[in-house]
A and B are shown apart, each in its own frame.
Chain A
Amino acid sequence: MAKKNIKLRAKLKNGIVTVKAIFKHPMETGLRKDKVTGLKVPAHHITETTCHRKDDLLLSSQWGPGVSKNPFISFTLKGIDKGEMLTIAYVDNKGKTESLDVKVK
């Protein structure tokens, strides 16, 4: 399988799970110009990300092009036990999707 463009950690401490994820993505805004050709680099950015536990949607977010390159996101969850599987998925404006599972540590 091809190498994943997502890195994901989920750690339980004092009843709260901290999820940290990095997506490898260029996050082009569509406004930047190519230095050589002088043409605008077409927009290519993540539009939506979700975090699931099986069928439960825990967090969903929509992003504009203003999110930094190789986006890092972190958030906290409650009511999640050790060893449960969390799934993070993203879709970008070109329709590419990817997802990754991780066990809560």
Chain B
Amino acid sequence: MKRRIFLKGSLLSGLISFAAGSSLLLPLKLLANWNKEAFQATDMKTANAALGDTTAAIESDRVFLDVKDIAENAAVVPVKVSTDLENAESIRIYVENNPNPLIATFKLSQYTDNFVFIRTKMRETSNVIAMVEADGQLYMAKKQIKVTAGGCGG
């Protein structure tokens, strides 16, 4: 008899912990798989190709890239990207000379207001590139950011 009760009890508690676990995981269910190929690519072309793009990005003044000209601390470079393009679907941030140029991709929805802010690492003086995908076309903005090694300002 005791064994029965024990069995029932353990089954029930198992169910409860399973339910708790699954509800905790719920918000992550919609996560797509991380695009390893794109993020581990060592140049921008490969990264873009891995993200499924064949057409080249057009430079556009409707993509706004806000970064300071000189990065005093290369480990923390604040990057702001915004756009007034309608139907913007995604935003990508690249640091051209980094070992892995692709920093981040943001998938937008009808609720987002076309603005993202993130802090990136930079290995050396490089172009920071923001790309916005809208209506199947890539638009970009580019800016060269100087990294002052050793903190001597230069």
Contacts and interface: CB of A to CB of B under 8 A. Distances in A.
Contact of A64 (B104, B107, B116): B104
Chain A CB within 10 Å, residue with most, of B31, B110, B120: B31
B119 A71 contact: yes
Given A68-B121, A75-B117, A59 B112 contact: yes
B113 A57 contact: no
B32 interface: yes
A75 B25 contact: no
Binding site secondary structure of chain A: strand
A54 to B, nearest CB: 9
Interface of A: 16, 29, 31, 47-48, 50, 52-53, 56-69, 71-80, 87, 89, 91, 93, 97, 99
A38 B75 CA distance: 21
B121 A66 contact: yes
A73 B117 contact: yes
B139 interface: no
Contacts of B107: 59-61
Contacts, number: 122
A52 B27 CA distance: 7
Contact of A29 (B31, B99, B119): B99
B152 interface: no
Chain B CB within 10 Å, residue with most, of A59, A65, A68, A91: A68
Contact of A63 (B27, B75, B98, B104): B104
Contacts of B27: 50, 52, 87, 89, 99
Given A73-B118, A79-B111, A68 B31 contact: no
A77 B106 contact: no
A68 B76 contact: yes
A99 B25 CA distance: 9
A72 B111 contact: no
6 contacts: A48-B32, A61-B116, A66-B120, A68-B120, A71-B119, A99-B28
A58 B100 contact: no
B110 to A, nearest CB: 7
B141 to A, nearest CB: 17
A29 to B, nearest CB: 7
A84 to B, nearest CB: 11
Given A48-B31, A52-B27, A66-B102, A59 B109 contact: yes
